[in-house]
Amino acid sequence: MVSGVHGSVRDLFEFTDADRALARIKDIYTTGAEAVREAFTRFGNGQQSSPVRAYYPYLGIEVPPEKLHVESTLSYGAPRDPGIYGTTLTRPDLFEQYYREQIELLLKNHDVPVVVGVSDRPIPLPFLVETATDNIGPTDIRQLQLVFDMPDLARTDDDIANGVHYGITEGPKPLSLFSGERVDYSLARLRHYTATLPEHFQKFVLFTNYQRYVDEFIEFAKLQLEDPKSPYVAFVEPGPKVHVRKNAPKAWQESGEAVKQLPQMPSYHLIREDGLGVTLVNIGVGPSNAKTATDHIAVMRPHCWLMLGHCAGLRRSQLLGDYVLAHGYVRDDHVLDSDLPLWIPVPPIAEVQVALANSVTKITGLKGREMKARMRTGTVATTDNRNWELRYSELFVRLNQSRAIAVDMESATIAANGFRFRVPYGTLLCVSDKPVHGELKLPGMANNFYRQRIGQHLQVGLDTIDTLRNEVNQLHSRKLRSLDEPAFR
């Protein structure tokens, strides 16, 4: 047993094998979670009045100067300075593969053991019990708070991801962007906002702001499940309702029912057994939903997220249906100003940009000057005002100075949160109107436009993911890492 340098963590043991460390993490979490769930059942029956508490597992490592691995090509997997590092962990059943990868990298890059123990951070009851009991009413809530731990928002924040924790936090330096409690907070929100489960989320995420993209995605998913050679084994829609490929492995079974009323951000998951499938989230219109969705999906540690949606074209040479590949953003959305100040640039991710451009060429069949005419690369201005056109005379100078070629309400938010949470990002928009030049969609024009473009646009996004799936190691760019970056991806 180890003691001392990891603060108030107890029952610390050293491990030089990732699987054994993970087994210890599972045991700590499962034992505590089961004890709380059993006590909650007794509480509902009036048989539990004394406090019951479970604690998050703790993972730590001490890196002496002689074991520091300063490798210029590493973007994650190794602390940048010698010292003592640690983090709380949660849901090892959900994050097993991710935790194993991170622990293996620590062991490989530093040649010192990791330590696993019981932290001093209690696991809140709402993160362990998904359904309430009919026996507990509003008058029991106060007694419930005396018996079980509740979320502590004072200790649940994004200071590490925002880079403002330096010199403030006591004890070990952070090993991960997110504490166990911060992850659990988002897992609970994902269930609420998407009507699907965290385990359904795939490592590649598409965001859209129009329902018609969802309709196209559902049709594509149905075709995949009809194909016995498809790499996808299941499709999940809000409910969750699970549809399974006809010859899928026995572990996958049809289940659930679709919801009658869609949640705020309905999500659809085309699942691969390796988790490298595609999740589509309809965030609706506006930066607030875009921030909410990405705040919570970030804890799932996706390999990439892309925005596929509509925008207003700002250049007279653009036509309805043209594509806009964003390589810069004007952040007039304002929802992230306190988390990511406006003076911080949001750079394009080269691998994503190239993949998107190549997929447009492949899916459209356009080449050379014709391709350049139909896809513009440039700056997208994201606003929080849906009726920005009514302030055009005021905004003209900003749009003109920024060289913006399009306006939307979500792209900069999604890219900025990708930068903040170290999730590779990209944006490919489709010009749906040009209000600056008086070109607005008439009803008949709109229907024709949607039929022709949305299916093609979605196929470009899916083809991009097919490319990026083979380039995962190159995706996680060093340009997204800070000076004191935590070792976990």
User: Please, is 441 exposed, middle or buried when counting C-beta atoms within 10 Å of its C-beta (0-12, 13-18, 19+)?
Assistant: middle
Give pLDDT tens digits for 183-221.
Answer: 999 999 999 999 999 999 999 999 999 999 999 999 999
Average pLDDT over residues 466-475: 91
Average pLDDT over residues 3-15: 88
Mean pLDDT of the chain: 92
Q: How far apart are CA 453 and CA 449, in angstroms?
A: 6
Give pLDDT tens digits for 238-258.
Answer: 999 999 998 898 889 999 999
pLDDT at 3 over 60: no
Closest CA to 278 of 342, 213, 228, 335: 213
Least confident of 28-32, 145-149, 169-173, 229-233: 169-173
Question: Which has more confidence, 329 or 450?
Answer: 329
Edge-to-edge strand ranges of the sheet holding 114-122: 10-15, 114-122, 55-63, 83-88, 173-174
Which contiguous run of DSSP H or E holds residue 41? Answer: helix 18-44
Q: How far apart are CA 356 and CA 403, in angstroms?
A: 21
Amino acid (1-letter code) at residue 274 = D
pLDDT-derived band of residue 446, with 50, 70 and 90 as boundaries?
Answer: low
How many residues are given for the chain?
489
pLDDT for 142: 82
pLDDT for 154: 85
Torsion of CA 252, 189, 129, 144, to 10 degrees: -170
pLDDT > 90 in the chain, percent: 76
> Is the separation of the CB atoms in 381 and 387 below 8 Å?
no
Average pLDDT over residues 321-339: 97
Q: What are the structure tokens assigned to 428, written together?
A: 């490919």
pLDDT for 478: 86
pLDDT for 436: 72
Give pLDDT tens digits for 285-324.
Answer: 999 999 999 999 999 999 999 999 999 999 999 999 999 9
